[in-house]
Structure 1
C-alpha cells in the first residue's frame, strides 16, 4: 500500500489528548525536525505535583502503562440520541466494538451497536425511558436518579464505558457494585435524557469519585449543578466531602469555581468565622477551603501573626453579580433521599 492509502493518528504536543485525531495523508505536511532556536528548550527536572494535578497520586508505572494502552482513540464518534459526538479518549468497549468510525448508543438503556440499523431495530422494542434506580430529585425539567451499581450492573458498566470516552484517567478496574451513581436528566414527552452524572464510592469519605457532563450539554451549568448536588447530599448527611483525586484539568477548574463562589457567599455575611466553621456550613473539607482561599488571595497573614479574610473590590463585584442572577440553590423539599446504609456492606 502507498503512503497515501493510510490515515495517520496525530497528537498535538503540549495539548490534551482529547484533541488527538485521525487525518488523511493529503493533510500532512512534513516539517524540519530541528528545534526552533528562537525558543528555549525547557526540561522538567523533577515531578512536583500538587494534590489536584491531573496525574497526582497515580503510580508512575501505572500511568506509563495506561497511556501506552490508551494511546489511540479507536472509536471516533458516537451517535447518542439526536447527537453525533466526537469522542475524546479511548474506552475499553468489547473488542468487536473497537476500531470503528461510529458507535451507536441507545440514550435510554445505554446498549451499544456497530450499525445504525441495529440501533433503529433496538429502539423499536426498547421500553426504557429513564435511568433505573430511584428518582431522588425533580425540579422543573431536571430529574436526578440514584442508581446502585450492585443492582443495575449492566447499566452502570455501560455508563462507565460511555464516560471513559470523555475522561482520560478514569479507571474501570473497580467493580461497579462498589459505587452509587447519580444521573442528571432533562425530561420531555419522549423520556428522560441523560446530560451528565457523578459517582461516589459507597465506603469512602469522598463525595465524588467521577463526574462528567456529556459534551453536547456542556456550557449549560450542569457541571456546577452536579458539584452543588454532591455537597447538598453531604450537608444532608451532616458530613464534609471532597472529590476523589486526581482531578482532570476541567474538573479542577470547575471545583475551584464552585468553592470560590460558595465560600464568598458565606464570608460576606460574617465578620468573624473560622475555617472549621466555614467547613461545617458548606460541607467543604478544610484543606479544600484553604487551597481555594490561598489561590484567590483571600487569606492574608497580618504582622501580629493573625490570619484574616480579605475580600477586595474584585471579589465583591464577582459575588454581587452572582447574587443578582436567579437563585440556583437546590430546594431541600424537592429531595426524596435516604443516605446509603454502610452496614449493608456485609451483605453485598
Structure 2
C-alpha cells in the first residue's frame, strides 16, 4: 500500500473549485454517503452522493430492507407499519478505498492492499504488456506522456460501471452507472518521461520501467469523458471528469478538444455537435472557456479546418507598409462550420470574450402598394466587428495559449494525420500584421 496516504488525523486533500465549501453543511450531509476516498497514493474529499452497493455502505451483513439511503435511485423500502425507514443524514463511510486502475472498491484497507498486490505481480511478470486500462482498450491519442484510451462500455462493463460510480462522487448530474453498453469511455492517463515512456509512441504497447511497485506514481489515470455510440442530438460528449487532485491543469481542455476531434466534424457530410446539455454550472464555465479559446485561435488567423486552409486572405498594401489581412464578412454559422462549434456555442463564446463591437446599419425597404409614403427605414441584421488586436488583448488578459492543447500528430489509427503539413510553405503564406479586422454577421 502506498505510504503517501495520510493518516486519519491528517487533513484530506480538498481540490480547488470543489463545491463543498459553497454548500450548507446540511445539504452536504444529505447528498453524500462517502466522506473521503483513497485513490492510489491520494486521499481526498468527495463532493456528491454515489449509488455504491448498500453492502459496501452498511457492511456485508446488511439486509436490503433494513435501510434506505438518501439519494438512492431505487425504490424506497418501508416497514410493516407502512412508514418509510428513516434516512441517514450523515456520511456513512468515512473512507472508501478505490483502485487507481480498475476502480474496484472496498472499505477494508487490508483487502485494498491485497488487491494492489495483484497489479504489482502483473506488472512484475509482464511489464512490457502491462496497461493501466483494460486489455481491450485502444489508443486514440498519445503525446508528451499523455495517452487517451478508448474503452468500449459493452466489452468492459464492470470497469466502466466502477469508473462511473467513482465519477458520480464528483459529478452532480451524472445518471448512467450500470447500463454502459451504449457508451464508449475515453480514459486519460499520464506516464512521466522518467517512467520510460517516450514523448510519442505510435504502437499500442509500451514499456514501463522504474519502481513498478509504486502504483499510482509512474502511470496515473487522470480522468475521462464518455460518449454515446448513437446520439440523436449529435452529442460528442456525455459526461467529463478530471479527478479533483489533477484539476486546474488544463486537462479538461485537452479532453474537450479530443472529443471534438473524435466527433469527425471535419469529415465530409458530417454533423457538428457539442456536449450533452444542459450543462452543470462548472461544466458550462469550462466549456465557455474552451469555445472562447477555440474561436480566438480562429480569429487570430490560424488554420481551423481539416484542409488546413488559412482562415483569412492576406492583402498587400502600398510599398513600405506591412501585409495585413483582408476584411472578411462571415456569419455565426460559417464560424461554427470552420471551428466545429454549434452556432449557439459560438455566440456564448463571443459573449464571454466581449470583443464584438456592434455595427448597426439601416436599409431602405419598399412599402405596400397604395401607401403615400415613399419608403421607410428598418434595422438590418446587426453586424459585429471583431478586431484582431482586441482578441489578442483578451487572450493575454486571460492567459490563453493560442496554440491548441491537442497536437494533430498525436492522434493514432483512423484519426492520424494523412500527410504532415509543410511548415516552410505555410510560414510564407502567414504574412504579418497588427490590427487585422474581422466583420461577423449574426444573421
**How would you bin the TM-score normalised by the shorter chain?**
0.7 to 0.9
2:279 matched to 1:247?
Answer: yes
Q: CA deviation at 1:301?
A: 4.9
Task: Provide closer, same or farther for how the CA distance between residues 20 and 77 of structure 1 changes in structure 2, counting only shifts above 3 A.
Answer: farther
After superposition, the C-alpha distances for 1:19-51 in whole angstroms (9 at most, x for unaligned) are: 55879xxxxxxxxxxxxxxxxxxxxxxxxxxxx
After superposition, the C-alpha distances for 1:150-175 in whole angstroms (9 at most, x for unaligned) are: 10000000110010000011112671
Q: CA deviation at 1:241?
A: 2.0
Which has the higher mean CA deviation after the structures are superposed, 165-174 or 82-91? 165-174
1:124-273 equivalences in 2 (<5 Å)? 124-126=117-119, 127=122, 129-132=131-134, 133-172=137-176, 175-187=179-191, 188=195, 189=209, 190=212, 192-204=219-231, 205-235=234-264, 238=267, 239=270, 240-269=272-301, 270=312, 271-272=327-328, 273=330
Task: Provide closer, same or farther for how the CA distance between residues 19 and 94 of structure 1 changes in structure 2, counting only shifts above 3 A.
Answer: farther
2:336 matched to 1:279?
Answer: yes
Q: Aligned partners of 1:234, 1:172: CA distance in 2, in Å?
A: 21
C-alpha contact 2:266 2:340 (8 A) present in aligned 1: no
Larger radius of gyration between Structure 1 and Structure 2: 2
C-alpha contact 1:75 1:90 (8 A) present in aligned 2: yes
1:88-107 equivalences in 2 (<5 Å)? 88-98=47-57, 99-107=92-100
Q: Aligned partners of 2:184, 2:400: CA distance in 1, in Å?
A: 35
TM, length-normalised to structure 2 = 0.58
Q: Aligned partners of 2:413, 2:176: CA distance in 1, in Å?
A: 27
Q: CA deviation at 1:314?
A: 4.9
C-alpha contact 1:129 1:192 (8 A) present in aligned 2: no
After superposition, the C-alpha distances for 1:270-325 in whole angstroms (9 at most, x for unaligned) are: 43232222112211111211232234344435133242233485532133578985
Task: Provide closer, same or farther for how the CA distance between residues 323 and 296 of structure 1 changes in structure 2, counting only shifts above 3 A.
Answer: closer
Report the number of matched residues.
281
C-alpha contact 1:104 1:112 (8 A) present in aligned 2: yes
Task: Provide closer, same or farther for how the CA distance between residues 325 and 285 of structure 1 changes in structure 2, counting only shifts above 3 A.
Answer: closer
Which has the higher mean CA deviation after the structures are superposed, 120-129 or 210-219? 120-129
Task: Provide closer, same or farther for how the CA distance between residues 18 and 194 of structure 1 changes in structure 2, counting only shifts above 3 A.
Answer: farther
- SS in structure 1 of the partner of residue 36 of structure 2: strand
C-alpha contact 2:31 2:49 (8 A) present in aligned 1: yes
C-alpha contact 1:97 1:103 (8 A) present in aligned 2: no
Q: Aligned partners of 1:310, 1:198: CA distance in 2, in Å?
A: 33
Q: Aligned partners of 1:308, 1:257: CA distance in 2, in Å?
A: 20
After superposition, the C-alpha distances for 1:94-150 in whole angstroms (9 at most, x for unaligned) are: 112222111001101111111111111011113364112111111121111011101
C-alpha contact 1:102 1:114 (8 A) present in aligned 2: yes
**2:34 aligned to 31, 51, 75, which one?**
75
2:175 matched to 1:117?
Answer: no
Task: Provide closer, same or farther for how the CA distance between residues 167 and 324 of structure 1 changes in structure 2, counting only shifts above 3 A.
Answer: closer
Q: CA deviation at 1:254?
A: 0.7
C-alpha contact 1:153 1:176 (8 A) present in aligned 2: yes
- SS in structure 1 of the partner of residue 49 of structure 2: coil
C-alpha contact 2:293 2:400 (8 A) present in aligned 1: no
Q: Aligned partners of 1:285, 1:337: CA distance in 2, in Å?
A: 27
C-alpha contact 1:108 1:192 (8 A) present in aligned 2: no
**2:45 aligned to 61, 70, 86, which one?**
86
Q: Aligned partners of 2:223, 2:253: CA distance in 1, in Å?
A: 11
- SS in structure 1 of the partner of residue 97 of structure 2: strand
Q: Aligned partners of 2:295, 2:106: CA distance in 1, in Å?
A: 45
- SS in structure 1 of the partner of residue 333 of structure 2: helix
Task: Provide closer, same or farther for how the CA distance between residues 236 and 337 of structure 1 changes in structure 2, counting only shifts above 3 A.
Answer: farther
Q: Aligned partners of 1:253, 1:173: CA distance in 2, in Å?
A: 25
Which has the higher mean CA deviation after the structures are superposed, 191-200 or 209-218? 191-200
Q: Which has the higher helix share?
A: 1
1:23-38 equivalences in 2 (<5 Å)? none
